[in-house]
Structure 1
């Protein structure tokens, strides 16, 4: 026998001997009726033995200290040798929860929150007859919730199993827990219907089932829970109507049924029957009818969200009595008089809501002029959305009083007049969207004072004059859209030097003149540039080749001349390129054959000469147009022109449609622009129910972006952690030009300020529904759920995917990259169990 085999056998023998000895001692101690000293100590050692302790939380668990002095262990005063509490929350522990813990029969509290425990809950938990508090949240437990807990733990008052992977139904026998006051099962994989027997839990104060895969209707029996203060049933696929019995639970403080398929109208006495409400979330459902006027009687309401339903009628004008109102959303409904009255008087009623932070009224049928009383809204207001309504008149200058605003959306209305100069005083503003209105006059130079501005969209108005060079002071601006106005003059170099521009710069459909300055090469992070339909002249600057992140470049319908710069070959990620309708001459660079991602190329109506290249995009007759260049030659060129002209006529019609500018839409789909407020909304306020993991520099949340109907993963950096900002910059830099099927795709980044004025940085990735490889490897070691294990073929496929990603990073990218932190937690699995490498921090 060689040395490695001897060592393996020795280790196996010692492990086997430990288990035999441990089980024997536990058996003998129980049989001999000891005082519990050895029983509890050995049970704790068995618990420690099967888990990994990266933070050293269990270092004190040794023979130098009595076990009652071990970290996280509390012993009884009446029975000094018996453990009554085990609290190891937030310790980073990894492993299964050994059944030996059930030998701690005096336990009345278990708190293992926020670790990486996996496997099933032992059915022997029923031995813990003294158990009162059980918190296993934020782990990776699987299997069904043991029903015998409910039968043999009669003293249980609080159970929190949230943020795990439990399956099966909500146990019917919960009703036997007569003392149960808090039940939290959110963010699991529970199926079936909500058991009507929960209505027998007469002591229940909090019932939380949000984010599961339940179905069916809400049982009317829940209306018996007279002590209930919090009912959270969001995002569990419920249907039907809300039982009238629930509206009689006058003790309710939090009532959440958001993101379901519930329908029906709300009772007119809602605010009278539920007077203690502080949070009412009914958004993303199918509710109809009017907003109850009685809501004003629920005087403690602070969070009210009726967004994304089909509510109709007028907005209540008595909500001003809700002085604690913090969040108010009626967006995406059918509210308003449709031009029959001035609906915006509603805003006057909100001037008494001095705590109001968020007001969402976008996408309704609200009409009328904005009242001057808008100036008297809460100075704490940070988010104001009025877009996609029928609002007319001018923007009141009193808006300058709302000094806390970070986002203002008034797009797609009938606003006229000039853009108020006083908007420049809103120095916290990050997003300003006024597109598709009738605004005229010049763009105020005062907008350059809003140095934290991230997004400015003034497109589709009647603005005149030049672009103020002061916008160059907006050093955080990542998207600037001035499309389809009457702007003229030269494009200021100050704009072209804004290296922060990373999403889109759209100056198309104006009357700009002069040349495109070489400073355009400073836009190294820009994803899309559109300067089409202007009067720009001169040569295309070779510095455009420095814009390595460009995916969309439109320079058509101008007066550019000279040759196509060879430096454009550096745009390795380019997907759509339009240089048509200019005065370009010379040959088509053969290097364009090497554009791997190019799907649309238009060089038509120039003065190009020579032979048309044959490889790459040039092999796709439906993706390229070179017509109108009479000096070009090549095999089958006449047929090529005939086929492509029809395709490009259709493409131009769609692209330049006023109502549906597909260029912008296409870019927005791929290059999301998400503000802090939008990320806050997408992740339900970065709530625990959306948390999917945590790393060394931050936390990752699952989010749903409504306007794109896209599920994303949002990595929020903990900027208090040393090196977090450096990690953010490193990951942005690494992922900026990486495009590979086995490398996690970054959709956008957000560098902003939160509602408390703190710096905020986040990365937004495509969501991987099957989590990390580490999670699956843990499950395979547990062995209790073979259906969740990776098969040999799946393991090989993941290994090939990871190797393919590393090969790309090392040999085929623009520059060689080394990951430096490759481990199973940084390999994420998609729907088909394909591997994607991430976390380049």
Structure 2
């Protein structure tokens, strides 16, 4: 249709006018009135944003940058045949880039960045052979970069950042002999950097925030014209050539942060005289900071944080004296390395422009030098997590531009200097975990910009100064816990209108809780436990957003206030334990969830849900005359006695029918070995030695033990019988495991029901030992398990199939269906072949046709226990546990395995969860959310990405998308939308096979 129009359109500039009118017709928003002049009262060459050539009066430029326009880009734009400059940037255009733009053979500059354009980049753009600049950044473009772009021989700038582009960087880019700028960061590009780009004239190469792999791109070493290299947040590895500074003499910016580079920092970088910014944050660099860096006179940014750099054992931190020669240095980050020694006085000679000095997480000792005050431009001084001793110098008050001061986790002593109040622009003050003493200085009240104040875990005494709490205060977080503060909490604490978190716990604060706290409407966290507060709990009806409230271990009295019942569902934890509260415990709101409340230690409380095991509240009686009361007592006694006799009879009958089960005689284990004694388990674990402890289950600790003459290694789960429900969990696990047989269910060898050496009840279960531990330590290894090789894609897929097969058996093949109720990575055990076994049946439920739970007469969600993040949402609404709940947990487990993210990670807040995270990125490309460690192959082997997909038997994207779709279906919010495990197991097998 466009071609037909072009051939039939009037000759000359009338074609341009019609094209502009058609362009405007597809706009849906011009609220700023930008195109109000686009009417017949003016010649179109005088319309806003339009430029015409003087000779032919044809449109040569259309510049509508930042005009608040919305709509789609009309294909008629391709009829502006004289167009040389097209700029539609910084608007809200959506839809696709019209391929008709490829007809504009005179076009030199095409700028459409900062819109919402989608689809792929049209290959036809490669026909615009005059293009010098092509900017399409900050859109929603996907698909690969067209290889046809290699024909744009005049192109000097190609800018495609912040899209969803995928696939490799085309080797054909090497044909762009005039290319000076290549911006590709923040996409989903894969593979390596092609060697062919060394044939260009690149000055700027930005390719960070992609999935690029390999060593430092060798092609870059051949581009002596380069002044900017940005490779941050990718998967590059290996060492940097020592002669990089000789090969790239024009380098000004080198950003390599968040990769896996290793080896030393090349000394030759000190030869690059124009080098201004070096950022290698979060890599694996080792060795020392080159002393020759002191000769980089233009250096303004040096970020070496989170590596394995160290200082000389003899010279300590003397290299800082060399860096003091960098007269333009503005930012120095040495955080979380292995530097040790005392801070030299030469730090006072740093550049007067230095605004960030970050030294946290090292082994710095000694005192903070007084000369630190010479750095009057400092905005941020961070020295936490070191071994610094002595006092905070009084001179620190001269750092009047300081906004953030972090000295926590050291060995500082003495008082907070009163001069701290001179730093009126201070926003963050972190002095936690030291040995500071004395009173909190009144002068802190002069820090009017303070948002975060952390003074916890020190030795402060005295009261919390009311002068520090002003109506104009901006404080968001105040933590003075774990000190020796006393006196009442100042009533003017209610002035802190912006306060989100207040922690005064573990002090000696007394008096009543100020009612003014109810004025802090932004409260999310309030911790007041372990003090001497007394009196009733105020009616804080204004605290609508509170999530955590802990008032335990005080002397509070009175009844539980009604406002706690009516708080929104945001309240996640409420601790009122160990006070002097009285009266009836509510059953509504949070009080219906035993995992979210604590009320024990209040002797006068009664009622509540049965799981709290509180005494019943006395029945309310109507007033009677005194003369009738003796008769009432007699009647009551007779009734109670009759009830007691009846109850004892029922209990006796129940005991006779169930004693065999409850006491677990040897024959109740059927195929199990003979029950084992406490002494044998004590010996097998070297007296339950802590060195034998290998983990924790639902109701106790798990030990590694050696049994019998053959030295069989076993896992021994010892129950903590003080934990409410532990014995019930013991029975549940025994009953569940004694009646089931499946290759992917952990096998129980025997059990112990006895007494320990202190004559206390003792119960334990003995399992087969799994040499590879649980799945959680492989998905999220801590420091102790960092030596573990990542699980490959096939290993993870096989594990999910094992788990699905076991759940299918439990749900559909047992005579009585069994619900696990606590499926999560730590309950999946792995043997030496990485075969998966479901373990920990302490919360399991059996389902009978009568639909009654054999272990609980109160099956509501308030009685249900599980693990946050894996519990099906319907359980929170009182729905009885079902097989659908296990399916939900399995879906979360699957998504966690293939994204590498826990469902409880910090990024998942409010209405954004793991499922929405997967959905939001799945439309871009499945590998964008994939846990990249699965490309490491089988444990102990090397496997490339292609090998993995060959073994999958289907296309990469199809394989991953299929896995994620199963996870999303299983973790659907509504139980009726979830598959059963029989179908899930079949689907996973089809992906693998």
Same fold (TM over 0.5): yes
Q: Name 2:217's counterpart in structure 1.
A: 243
Partners of 1:239 and 1:260 within 8 A in 2: yes
CA displacement at 1:317 relative to structure 2: 1.3
Deviations 1:405-452 (A, max 9, x none): 111110000000100111111111111110010000000011111111
Q: Name 2:924's counterpart in structure 1.
A: none
CA displacement at 1:61 relative to structure 2: 2.5
CA displacement at 1:228 relative to structure 2: 0.9
> 2:453 matched to 1:490?
no
> 2:328 matched to 1:355?
yes
Give 1:401-800 correspondences, 5 Å limit.
Answer: 401-497=374-470, 499-565=472-538, 567-596=539-568, 597-634=570-607, 636=610, 639=613, 646=723
Q: Name 1:61's counterpart in structure 2.
A: 38
Distance 2:595 2:17 in 1: 75
CA displacement at 1:380 relative to structure 2: 1.3
> 2:296 matched to 1:322?
yes
Partners of 1:475 and 1:498 within 8 A in 2: no
Unaligned runs of 5+ residues in structure 1 are: 1-19, 650-658, 660-707, 713-738, 746-765, 772-841
Unaligned runs of 5+ residues in structure 2 are: 616-698, 700-719, 727-782, 784-903, 922-993
Deviations 1:16-45 (A, max 9, x none): xxxx9x999864445xxx3x1222222222
Partners of 1:617 and 1:624 within 8 A in 2: yes
CA displacement at 1:55 relative to structure 2: 2.2
Q: Name 1:290's counterpart in structure 2.
A: 264
Distance 2:62 2:144 in 1: 28
Q: Which moved more, 1:602-611 or 1:466-475?
A: 602-611
SS in 2 for 1:179: coil
> 2:287 matched to 1:313?
yes
Q: Which moved more, 1:493-502 or 1:404-413?
A: 493-502
* Pair 568,121 (structure 1): closer, same or farther in 2 beyond 3 Å: closer
Distance 2:384 2:550 in 1: 28
Distance 2:21 2:542 in 1: 61
Deviations 1:134-168 (A, max 9, x none): 11111222222121221x22221211111112221
Deviations 1:224-258 (A, max 9, x none): 22x11011101111111123231121100111111
Distance 1:211 1:426 in 2: 38
CA displacement at 1:640 relative to structure 2: 5.8
Q: Which moved more, 1:117-126 or 1:196-205?
A: 117-126
* Pair 599,141 (structure 1): closer, same or farther in 2 beyond 3 Å: closer
Deviations 1:639-674 (A, max 9, x none): 36999974899xxxxxxxxx9xxxxxxxxxxxxxxx
2:81 maps to which of 90, 97, 105:
105
Partners of 2:607 and 2:614 within 8 A in 1: no
Distance 1:175 1:587 in 2: 77
2:357 maps to which of 384, 396, 414:
384
Distance 1:531 1:377 in 2: 39
Distance 1:29 1:548 in 2: 66
Give 1:331-342 correspondences, 5 Å limit.
Answer: 331-337=305-311, 340-342=313-315
CA displacement at 1:85 relative to structure 2: 1.7
CA displacement at 1:577 relative to structure 2: 1.8
CA displacement at 1:343 relative to structure 2: 4.0
What is the count of residue pairs matched by the alignment? 637
Distance 2:101 2:35 in 1: 23
* Pair 24,602 (structure 1): closer, same or farther in 2 beyond 3 Å: closer
1:268 maps to which of 224, 236, 242:
242
Partners of 1:621 and 1:640 within 8 A in 2: no
Distance 2:425 2:724 in 1: 42
Deviations 1:792-815 (A, max 9, x none): xxxxxxxxxxxxxxxxxxxxxxxx
Q: Name 1:76's counterpart in structure 2.
A: 53
Distance 2:596 2:73 in 1: 58
Q: Name 1:188's counterpart in structure 2.
A: 163
CA displacement at 1:768 relative to structure 2: 12
Q: Name 1:215's counterpart in structure 2.
A: 190
* Pair 430,626 (structure 1): closer, same or farther in 2 beyond 3 Å: same
Distance 2:605 2:30 in 1: 70
Q: Name 1:774's counterpart in structure 2.
A: none
CA displacement at 1:171 relative to structure 2: 0.8
Partners of 2:193 and 2:219 within 8 A in 1: no
Distance 2:65 2:559 in 1: 68
* Pair 149,590 (structure 1): closer, same or farther in 2 beyond 3 Å: closer
Deviations 1:205-232 (A, max 9, x none): 111111111111111222222x110111
* Pair 644,210 (structure 1): closer, same or farther in 2 beyond 3 Å: farther
Distance 2:31 2:604 in 1: 70
* Pair 564,179 (structure 1): closer, same or farther in 2 beyond 3 Å: same
* Pair 76,519 (structure 1): closer, same or farther in 2 beyond 3 Å: same
1:200 maps to which of 156, 172, 175:
175
Partners of 2:490 and 2:514 within 8 A in 1: yes
Deviations 1:283-309 (A, max 9, x none): 010111111111111111112110011
Partners of 2:280 and 2:304 within 8 A in 1: yes
Partners of 1:375 and 1:400 within 8 A in 2: yes
CA displacement at 1:580 relative to structure 2: 1.8
SS in 1 for 2:14: helix
* Pair 644,28 (structure 1): closer, same or farther in 2 beyond 3 Å: farther
SS in 2 for 1:462: coil
Partners of 2:520 and 2:543 within 8 A in 1: yes
CA displacement at 1:501 relative to structure 2: 4.4
Distance 1:590 1:117 in 2: 53
Distance 1:249 1:740 in 2: 48
Distance 2:725 2:342 in 1: 42
* Pair 465,107 (structure 1): closer, same or farther in 2 beyond 3 Å: same
> 2:233 matched to 1:259?
yes
CA displacement at 1:601 relative to structure 2: 2.1
* Pair 210,648 (structure 1): closer, same or farther in 2 beyond 3 Å: farther
* Pair 133,495 (structure 1): closer, same or farther in 2 beyond 3 Å: same
- Greater RCO (Cα-Cα under 8 Å, separation 6 or more): 1
Tell me which structure has the larger Cα radius of gyration: 2
Q: Over aligned residues, Cα RMSD in angstroms?
A: 2.8
Give 1:393-404 correspondences, 5 Å limit.
Answer: 393-404=366-377
* Pair 366,27 (structure 1): closer, same or farther in 2 beyond 3 Å: same
Distance 2:192 2:256 in 1: 15
> 2:119 matched to 1:155?
no
Distance 1:482 1:277 in 2: 44
CA displacement at 1:514 relative to structure 2: 1.1
* Pair 311,614 (structure 1): closer, same or farther in 2 beyond 3 Å: same
1:47 maps to which of 23, 33, 37:
23
* Pair 57,631 (structure 1): closer, same or farther in 2 beyond 3 Å: closer
CA displacement at 1:67 relative to structure 2: 2.4
Partners of 1:421 and 1:446 within 8 A in 2: yes
Q: Name 1:93's counterpart in structure 2.
A: 69
Distance 2:123 2:507 in 1: 71
2:278 maps to which of 304, 318, 323:
304
Partners of 1:627 and 1:645 within 8 A in 2: no
* Pair 57,769 (structure 1): closer, same or farther in 2 beyond 3 Å: farther
Partners of 1:711 and 1:767 within 8 A in 2: no
CA displacement at 1:365 relative to structure 2: 0.9
SS in 1 for 2:149: helix
* Pair 127,644 (structure 1): closer, same or farther in 2 beyond 3 Å: farther
